[in-house]
């Protein structure tokens, strides 16, 4: 592959480095761990968020609240580099820090900040919070990532390919057009789109973007030709990249339909997401499954359950039992993922807990400004507070995510159809003998087709209303619990652990990027 710079708003590298919100960051982290092992010439560009995404804590009544605590890291190297960029006709200085390869065994990553004394108060706040809801700040963040990142890379590295992981870094395209022209840019930029949702495909007032310096010195007429008016980031990325990719085969079908009206767009291919088994998978689980040593697998799973249940007890005061089928719903709290679905019929849920020896855990972070989903989170808190064997946890970051995946029996995924581009949490759960149960969307379509006996599929992929999906889940759980903790269950778990890494490990994914995008 050619030397490549990978621009991404978030990286989930390791628990101490809180520069991520969710799946996009988890994916970038796995990408960079695998690329390091493969010795690929890849370098990352991201932002050093002073307050991270946010700290998910509890108020005095036990409900979720948003808090911001400044982060400090002594393992990032100050490379004594500051580059100037222009935002709102004013010079803003961007300082770069470097995460060296040997800190967390990844390819190197440059982290950018404007939170330095030589900037004014507004400029310092640009890199305070990931995905700031203030539109002006958010656009400024994109200019920092795209233009500031481009300038840092030009100073520090020799790269030939610029990879935009989502279109947040799009200002880099206009800086390249300014420096080298449109045709050169089209030969050296590639683009990954991760979501069919409007929030992931930004549309902005083109004059606002121009005034803020999003297009640099590129004529607004060219910008309009590339992205339209109002200006669509994804459309522009598709018109200025050599090649683009969707993140699952199902997502490619959705993308082809979504963007079929866009003339002069680049080719969109499919590279299905994957996760890094070396980071996520418990070694004893791996070895036990490989040998089909059911006793060892069960013994280790019960140990991992104990670790998870200690966290549950610490947070909620509830004691969970190892002999109960443990179902976990944990991911970003957004409407289309339906975190409320298990409580669709409260009596059915209560019956599963009381009569069927099942227990349930929820976890996940809503956006700090998504009042509806914060209310949903706290509604689940209120519903589960006095219900035994049910709990919702705060602090859903890498450490808790790994704990949940290793300690659960079933990993529940309930997105509305055609809304989940890929989703990857179920891959890492499956690596740890937690069986994936999902609607037919994202990566699960491929997994269920490859090994239909290694997962549980909710519904027929056609009907999608909440009542239908909820009833499918309740019915399946009633059947599954009858053979949980039997030889049949642990053989299924062994197959799941062994088969998932054949295709859904990050090294396969990174090799595909090298061959199809970074060639």
Q: What CATH code is carried by the domain that includes residue 123?
A: 3.40.50.2000
Among 429, 188, 259, 204, CA closest to 330: 429
* Alpha carbon 61 to chain centroid, angstroms: 30
Give the pair of three-digit tokens for residue 245.
Answer: 């990719």
Q: Yes or no: say if 142 and 83 are a contact pair by the CB < 8 Å rule.
A: no
Query: Tens of pLDDT along 464-484?
Result: 999 999 999 999 999 999 999
For the cut 90, the answer to whether the pLDDT of residue 151 exceeds it is yes
Domain that holds residue 166: 4-274+508-516
For the cut 90, the answer to whether the pLDDT of residue 239 exceeds it is yes
Provide mean pLDDT across the span 147-173.
Answer: 98
Query: Quick one: DSSP state of residue 1?
Result: -
Provide mean pLDDT across the span 177-205.
Answer: 94
Together in a domain, 263 and 289? no
Task: Name the H helices within 48-181.
Answer: 101-104, 121-125, 135-143, 149-156, 171-180
Provide mean pLDDT across the span 20-31.
Answer: 97
Together in a domain, 286 and 147? no
Cis peptide before 190 (omega within 30 of 0): no
Query: Tens of pLDDT along 333-344?
Result: 999 999 999 999
How many of the other CB atoms lie within 10 Å of CB of 502?
10
User: What are the backbone angles phi and psi of residue 422, rounded to the nearest 5°?
Assistant: -145, -65
Q: Which contiguous run of DSSP H or E holds residue 435?
A: strand 435-439
Q: Given this model, what pLDDT does residue 278 score?
A: 98
For the cut 90, the answer to whether the pLDDT of residue 178 exceeds it is yes
Together in a domain, 270 and 281? no
Provide mean pLDDT across the span 298-315.
Answer: 98
Q: Yes or no: say if 285 and 299 are a contact pair by the CB < 8 Å rule.
A: no
Alpha-carbon distance 5 to 516, whole Å? 15
* Alpha carbon 438 to chain centroid, angstroms: 17
Together in a domain, 298 and 255? no
Q: 3-class DSSP state for residue 71?
A: coil
Q: Please tell me the total count of domains within the chain.
A: 2
For the cut 80, the answer to whether the pLDDT of residue 198 exceeds it is no
Together in a domain, 85 and 226? yes
Q: Given this model, what pLDDT does residue 246 score?
A: 98
The contacts of residue 384 (CB under 8 Å, 6+ apart) are 360, 362, 390, 391, 392
pTM reported for the whole predicted model: 0.97
Together in a domain, 144 and 228? yes
Provide mean pLDDT across the span 245-273.
Answer: 97
Q: Given this model, what pLDDT does residue 498 score?
A: 98
Together in a domain, 294 and 234? no
Together in a domain, 89 and 232? yes
Side-chain-facing half-sphere of 287: CA atoms under 13 Å: 6
Cis peptide before 230 (omega within 30 of 0): yes
Q: Yes or no: say if 339 and 379 are a contact pair by the CB < 8 Å rule.
A: no
Q: Yes or no: say if 180 and 205 are a contact pair by the CB < 8 Å rule.
A: no
Together in a domain, 349 and 421? yes
For the chain, give the mean pLDDT: 97
Q: Given this model, what pLDDT does residue 206 score?
A: 98
Q: Yes or no: say if 362 and 330 are a contact pair by the CB < 8 Å rule.
A: yes
Sign of CA dihedral 130, 132, 135, 137: negative
Query: Tens of pLDDT along 285-294?
Result: 999 999 999 9
Together in a domain, 22 and 164? yes
Alpha-carbon distance 144 to 198, whole Å? 22
Give the pair of three-digit tokens for residue 21.
Answer: 């919100």
Contacts by residues 112-115 (CB-CB < 8 Å, ≥ 24 positions apart): 112/45, 112/46, 112/47, 112/48, 112/144, 112/145, 112/148, 112/149, 112/152, 113/47, 113/48, 113/50, 114/144, 115/48, 115/50
Split at pLDDT 50, 70, 90, the class of 256 is: very high
Strands 231-232 and 203-204: antiparallel
Split at pLDDT 50, 70, 90, the class of 200 is: confident
Split at pLDDT 50, 70, 90, the class of 511 is: very high
Sign of CA dihedral 255, 256, 259, 265: positive
What is the rounded (10 degree) CA torsion for 275, 279, 280, 285? 120
Split at pLDDT 50, 70, 90, the class of 134 is: very high
C-alpha R_g of the chain:
23
Split at pLDDT 50, 70, 90, the class of 376 is: very high
Q: Given this model, what pLDDT does residue 197 score?
A: 83
Q: Given this model, what pLDDT does residue 155 score?
A: 98
Query: Tens of pLDDT along 393-447?
Result: 999 999 999 999 999 999 999 999 999 999 999 999 999 999 999 999 999 999 9
Query: Quick one: DSSP state of residue 275?
Result: B
Provide mean pLDDT across the span 94-101.
Answer: 98
Q: What is the separation, in whole angstroms, between the first and last Cα of the chain?
A: 5
Residue entry with tokens 């994936």: 436
Alpha-carbon distance 409 to 415, whole Å? 19
How much of the chain is in helix, strand and coil states, percent to nearest 5? 45, 20, 35
Q: Given this model, what pLDDT does residue 20 score?
A: 98
Phi-psi region of 80 (alpha: psi -120 to 50; beta: other; left: phi over 0): left
Q: Yes or no: say if 132 and 145 are a contact pair by the CB < 8 Å rule.
A: no
Alpha-carbon distance 52 to 72, whole Å? 10
User: What are the backbone angles phi and psi of residue 415, rounded to the nearest 5°?
Assistant: -70, 150
Give the pair of three-digit tokens for residue 64.
Answer: 């979720």
Question: What percentage of residues in the chain have a pLDDT greater than 70?
Answer: 100
Among 402, 401, 408, 464, CA closest to 437: 408
Together in a domain, 75 and 156? yes
Q: Yes or no: say if 488 and 259 are a contact pair by the CB < 8 Å rule.
A: no
Together in a domain, 402 and 474? yes
Give the pair of three-digit tokens for residue 455.
Answer: 């997962």
Q: Given this model, what pLDDT does residue 514 score?
A: 98
Question: What percentage of residues in the chain have a pLDDT greater than 90?
Answer: 99
């Amino acid at each position: 592959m050619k030397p490549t710079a990978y621009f991404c708003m978030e990286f989930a590298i390791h628990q101490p480095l809180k520069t991520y919100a969710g799946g996009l960051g988890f994916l970038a982290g796995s990408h960079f761990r695998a690329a390091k092992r493969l010795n690929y010439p890849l370098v990352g560009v991201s932002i050093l968020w002073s307050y991270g995404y946010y700290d998910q804590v509890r108020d005095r009544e036990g409900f979720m609240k948003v808090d911001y605590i400044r982060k400090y890291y002594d393992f990032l190297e100050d490379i004594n580099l500051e580059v100037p960029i222009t935002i709102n006709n004013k010079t803003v200085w961007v300082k770069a820090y470097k995460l060296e390869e040997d800190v967390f065994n990844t390819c190197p990553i440059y982290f950018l900040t404007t939170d330095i004394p030589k900037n004014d108060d507004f400029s310092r706040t640009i890199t305070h919070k990931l995905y700031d809801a203030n539109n002006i700040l958010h656009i400024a963040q994109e200019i920092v990532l795209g233009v500031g990142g481009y300038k840092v890379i030009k100073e520090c590295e020799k790269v030939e390919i610029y990879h935009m992981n989502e279109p947040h870094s799009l200002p880099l395209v206009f800086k390249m057009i300014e420096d080298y022209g449109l045709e050169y840019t089209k030969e050296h930029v590639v683009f990954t789109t991760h979501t069919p949702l409007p929030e992931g495909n930004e549309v902005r007032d083109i004059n606002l973007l121009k005034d803020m310096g999003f297009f640099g010195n590129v004529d607004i007429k060219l910008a309009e030709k590339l992205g339209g008016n109002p200006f669509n980031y994804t459309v522009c990325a598709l018109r200025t990249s050599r090649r683009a990719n969707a993140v699952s085969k199902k997502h490619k079908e959705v993308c082809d339909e979504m963007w079929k009206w866009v003339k002069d767009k680049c080719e969109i291919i499919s590279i299905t997401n994957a996760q890094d088994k070396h980071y996520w998978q418990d070694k004893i689980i791996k070895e036990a499954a490989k040998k089909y040593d059911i006793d060892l697998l069960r013994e280790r799973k019960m140990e991992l359950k104990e670790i998870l249940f200690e966290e549950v007890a610490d947070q909620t005061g509830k004691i969970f039992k190892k002999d109960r089928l443990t179902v976990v719903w944990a991911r970003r709290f957004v409407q289309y993922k339906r975190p409320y679905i298990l409580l669709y019929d409260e009596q059915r849920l209560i019956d599963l807990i009381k009569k069927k020896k099942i227990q349930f855990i929820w976890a996940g972070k809503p956006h700090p400004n998504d009042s509806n989903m914060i209310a949903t989170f706290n509604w689940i808190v209120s519903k589960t507070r006095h219900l035994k064997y049910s709990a919702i946890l705060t602090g859903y970051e890498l450490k808790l995510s790994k704990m949940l995946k290793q300690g659960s029996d079933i990993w529940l995924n309930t997105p509305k159809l055609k809304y989940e581009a890929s989703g990857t949490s179920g891959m890492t759960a499956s690596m740890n003998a937690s069986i994936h149960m999902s609607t037919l969307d994202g990566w699960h379509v491929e997994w269920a087709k490859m090994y239909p006996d290694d997962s549980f599929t909710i519904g027929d992929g056609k009907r999608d209303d909440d009542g239908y999906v909820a009833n499918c889940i309740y019915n399946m759980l009633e059947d599954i619990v009858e053979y949980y903790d039997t030889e049949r269950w642990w053989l299924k778990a062994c197959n799941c652990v062994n088969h998932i890494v054949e295709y859904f490990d990050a090294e396969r994914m990174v090799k595909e990027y090298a061959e199809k995008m970074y060639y």
